[in-house]
Structure formats: structure tokens, C-alpha cells
Amino acid sequence: MAKINAISARGKKYLEGISANQWRSTAWVDDPTLPPRFGIVTTNMSESVNSMVGDARDGSWLECTNDIVRKMMNRICSLREENYGREGVVDKVAEILERRWKNCSNFQVREVVKGGSQFDVFRPSRGASQPETNRLLDVREQTCECGKWQEHGVPCIDAVTYYRLFETQTLQYIMDNHCQSPEKTVTMPPSMPEYKEGQTRKRNVYDVLEALKGGEGAKNVMVRVDFNVPINSDGKITDDSRIRGAIPTIEAILKSGNNAILMSHMGRPKKVQTGEDDGTERAALSLNQVVPRLKELTGADVRFVDDCIGEKAKQAVSELPKEGGAILVLENLRFYKDEEKNVAAFAKDLASNADAYINDAFGTAHRAHASVSGVPALLPPELCGIGCLVASEVAYLDFSTLGPNDKVAAIIGGSKVSSKLPVIKGLIDQVQILVLGGGLAYTFAKARGVSIGTSLCEDDMVETAKGFLADAEAKGVKLLLPVDAVAAKSFPSGPMSKDDTKTFDMVPGGGIEDGWMGLDVGPKTSALFKEGLAEATKIIFNGPMGVFEIPPFDEGTKALVDALEEDTKNGTITVVGGGDSVAALEQFGKTDAVSYVSTGGGATLELLSGDILPGVAAIADFKE
């Protein structure tokens, strides 16, 4: 068979191995040169197309992890029941292939179908013009090895059907080669992330509650939460997201007929620790302030005790209802300096009030404090677990369970290289794409020989940045750096007119002029980052691209957030972590535009850099 240049390269290797006789209307049996599961082509072309569409039912697409492919295949297979004629079937198959693949979340699927759809130029319209008919005749001759299709006793398949059949074949190829193998997931309770069969996970709150069953009366489950919430001068909580984040774990405990003892820190009560406080700091940092909001969110019996250890705490625990369903909030852990020092006696006093322990404070999971690692070390492993929030954080930020076709991209912004260096170093061993922006990018620009004017730069980190650039290149990491920057002559005190800004290309030998300060990435960079991130299957965003709080230097970060929103809609897992990054989402009204918003600051960064979190390490792995 002559080569058909209009089809995808992937398809040619199949078509070139098929002789002309196999495409005649007589039947032929399974051929090893064809994609799997294509069965016998009958003399009736309508049955032929329906058969191939129907054969796709044999299973793989039903459990494909790509939602778009499942929907596309479901639609195609349904055509068999709708009894379309030959033209109807091939038209519908072609229509689906032409249109739906463009929004497929799998980059490889888009590329394969894009290649296979190039031959739609051979599809004639009704009442085709003579030039168009001649073109089809030329193509038809290519379907016959001898080139004399008119002399065949049994007419060859017409060119239109030939190419439309190949579109069905292209889809089959996609299923066989680009749909991930069905992976069984373990059914988890509500508010818990899914786990693949065989995947290692930590014991969680539901495992602990199961272990507690069988005894008489309610058990007291101690939960390390992160209620370090901002409170204004009027004593009102201005952001209750950390409280709301702990609700699923708390409710699971209450619904199981047990009591929840909540312990947390708030602020840095140094004066209380040293005995220099006159009562002002203790009042300002008391966890009693979260009780009203907790009552509103849970509707439960919420109690408070103004100590976290000692006789007061023991008395309050002893008064919890035997039938369960109550919440006891302990006073600020950090009123004792022993908490941060993980003093054994302090941890023992805390643990003495607990029948079981749950860590649901991801924000402090990177701290080896008494409430984080000391308490679980004193209790049986089967009675310790992580809460719903920590389980979700670990699942979204863990790279160990990715498939061979996954590509992870990390976006690191912010002001200083020194504060993000451990993360950046750790990421080059875990990601395929690394995007650097914000103030720290100017240190890297200087390391590349690009002028940065008066932009923020850590001169003592320039050589370190050079070493990192070389290391990333050696490891094959795709590193994306700003190629243009929006600058001003001084740091703005408020919104600035674009007329007072200037955009510079950030290239070696060029860059920002003296007297100008880079404050945001430019439009070329935004386009570059968007294109680079499109091929990722998972994206982590930590740190803004510029001074996003002040227009017009918010445009680079907004463009990035918009790109993340688009990627999320296309099936990419997008995770945002870090205070400034989350603030940027809120500023642009995009908090629901990404897959997950991490609650951790330092914990997020340490997990991304590959470090082991003490709070997670303290919990045993789940075993069947």
C-alpha cells in the first residue's frame, strides 16, 4: 500500500502493513498487523463499523482513569444501539473525534487524536465540486496497491469510508496505548482521599475508631488541631478556615459515640512562658476564643478548660459524658515552653488524658513538639492516626504514587532564594518541570548574566543559583525562568499607572536598565509558563510571581492563576500552598478554581523538599 501522508505517524505503521485485499468488501480474519480486538470485517460495511465500535466494549475504556476518554467511548459505543446506517455511524464517530479530543485532559490523547484527525480534508461535503471529487479519486487510488481500483471485480472501499474507519482505528490505538491501566482504588470513608490498591498509607481516624469499638462507654480521643487563627482587636476570628478544616475529623469522632479532646497552640506567648505576662498576653492568646465558633460549626456540646495538663485538665476530662458526643478544648499548649521542647513529662501528662490520639494539624506536622510526636509515642500504635485534613494534605503533596506517564510541575515564587532554597533543591529530584518567578527569580537572572537593575537580589546566593541551574540541566528538569519583567523606578506605595512602568526582556546581555526595579513577570513570561504547564498532570504552586497586592503588578500572578484554573478544568491536579499563594487565589476570587488548597506553610515546603514530617512519621502505616 502506498503511504498516506495525511494520517498520523502512529497510524501509518498499522496501515502500511495492511494489503489492499484486506480492505475489500470480502471478509478477513484477525490479522497480527492490526490493533488488538478489531475482529472480523464483514461484507456489510454498516455491520463492519458497528462491530468495531462495539468491540471496544470489551472493557478497558470502562475503567479508564481519563474521564474524557470514558465519556467519548461511552458516546461512541452508544451509537451501536441507535441503529445508525453506515454513513450515520461514521459521521458520528468522526464528529466525536474531531471535537471532543480538543478538551481531553490527557496531553498524549490530544496529540494522537490531533494527528489522526488531519485527514478530515478527505471528507467531501454533499454536492462536492469537481476539484474536490478529483482529489478524492486520487486518494482512492492510493487505497489500492495496484492503483487500478476501477478494474477490481469487487469495488474497493470508497476513500471516505476508508479514512473514517481509520479514525475509529485511531481511537482504538488511543485506548490501547494512552489510557492508563485500570487501577483499583480502596473505598475510603467520606472526607478521606482515595488510595490505590496496595498503596501504603498511614492509619487514620477511622482506623482508630474501629480499633476502639467493643469497650463500654465513650472513649476520649485526643486530637492535635491547628486553631492558630487570626483574631482582631474586637476578639473576632477573621479567618476560620483552620477550624473548618478540622470539622470532618471532629464529627467522625462524635458520630462514633466518643468525645473529642482538642489541643492546639495560638501565637507565640513568650511572656506567659517566662512569667512576665500581666494577663494581657494570656487573654489575647487563649483558645477560649475559638469555642463560640466551634459551637456554631458543630452544634455540639463544646467545653473549655483553662489548662492543658494537671488537675484542671484531668477533672474536665473526667466530666465528659459517658455516652460521648462532647468536645473539650484545652488551653493553649504553648503557654508551656515544654511543648516546643518535647519534654517527656509534659507529653506524658497530655497522653494521660487520652484513650487514643489523632493528628489533624498539618500546619505543625513538621515540628517535633510534645503534642505532635511525644504523645503518639506513649500510646499503642493502633490507637494513633492522622485526621482527614492531614490525610488529604499528604495525598495531594506526595509524589511517590505517580504513574510513568505523569509529569509534575512546581511553581516556586516569593522574594528570597535563601528561604526557598531547600525546597528548590528537593524539587529537582521529584519534578519534571520547575517554574521560578517572583523576587527570587532576579537572583537567578543575575546568575545567568542578565541585568536586573535595582531589583531584589541576594548577591551571596548568586553562585548557589549558578550551581542549581547546572544541576537542573544535568538532571533533565525543564526549568522555566522569566523572559520579561514589568518594572518601576521605585517600590510602589499604592496602585500605579501602567504608563509609569516599563517592560524589559530578560535575556543574557540585556535585562532591566539601571534605576528600574522588577516587580512582576511580563506577558511573554505568562505565555511561556502557561504553555510549559499545559503538559503537566500535577502542578504545585507556592509563591506569587510579583507584587500581586498592588496593581498593575498583579497581572503576572493573575495570569498564572487563570492558567491553573484552565489546567484544572482539563483534568490536571493543581495544588496551592503557602500564605501568599492562597491570598492571591482569594484576591482573584479563584479559591475554588484549583484541585486543593494546602493549609500548611512550613510543613508544605518541607514535604515538597522531600523531608519527613515528624507528625506523620509518628503514625504507623496501616496494615490489613
Residues annotated catalytic, as ranges: 242, 416, 579, 602
Choose among 172, 104, 159: nearest CA to 132. 159
CA–chain centroid gap for 470, Å, is: 28
The total number of residues shown for the chain amounts to 624
CB 263 within 8 A of CB 307: no
Classify burial at 373, counting beta carbons within 10 Å of its beta carbon; exposed 0-12, middle 13-18, buried 19 or more. buried
- Output the DSSP codes for 355-412: SEEEE--GGGTTS--IIIIITGGGS-GGGEEE-HHHHHHHHHH--TT--TT--EEEEE
Q: Is cis: bond before 544, omega within 30 of 0?
A: no
In angstroms, the CA 371 to CA 367 distance is 9
**3 state DSSP class of 331:** coil
- Rounded distance between C-alpha atoms, residue 4 and residue 2, angstroms: 6
In whole angstroms, give the CA distance from residue 463 to residue 444. Answer: 9
The residues with which 304 forms a beta bridge, in sequence order, are 329
Cell of 522: 511580563
Question: Count of CB atoms within 10 A of residue 251's CB?
Answer: 18
Q: Cα separation of 584 and 52, whole Å?
A: 50
Distance in angstroms (rounded) separating the CA atoms of residues 334 and 332: 6
The DSSP-derived string for 229-292 is --B-TTS-BS--HHHHHHHHHHHHHHHTT-EEEEE---S--HHHHHT---SHHHHHT-GGGGHH
Q: What are phi and psi of 35, to 5 degrees?
A: -60, 155
Q: What H or E segment, with its residue span, contains residue 27?
A: none
CB atoms within 10 A of CB 506: 26
SS (H, E, C) 79-119: CCCCCCCHHHHHHHHHHHHHHHHHHCCCHHHHHHHHHHHHH
Provide the grid cell at 453.
537593575
Count other Cβ atoms within 10 Å, centred on residue 234. 6
CA 189 to chain centre: 21
Q: How far is CA 532 from the centre of its chain?
A: 16
**CB pairs under 8 A, 24+ apart, for 128-132?**
none
Residue keyed to cell 450515520: 88
Query: H-helix or E-strand containing 49?
Result: helix 45-55
CA distance 511 to 446: 9
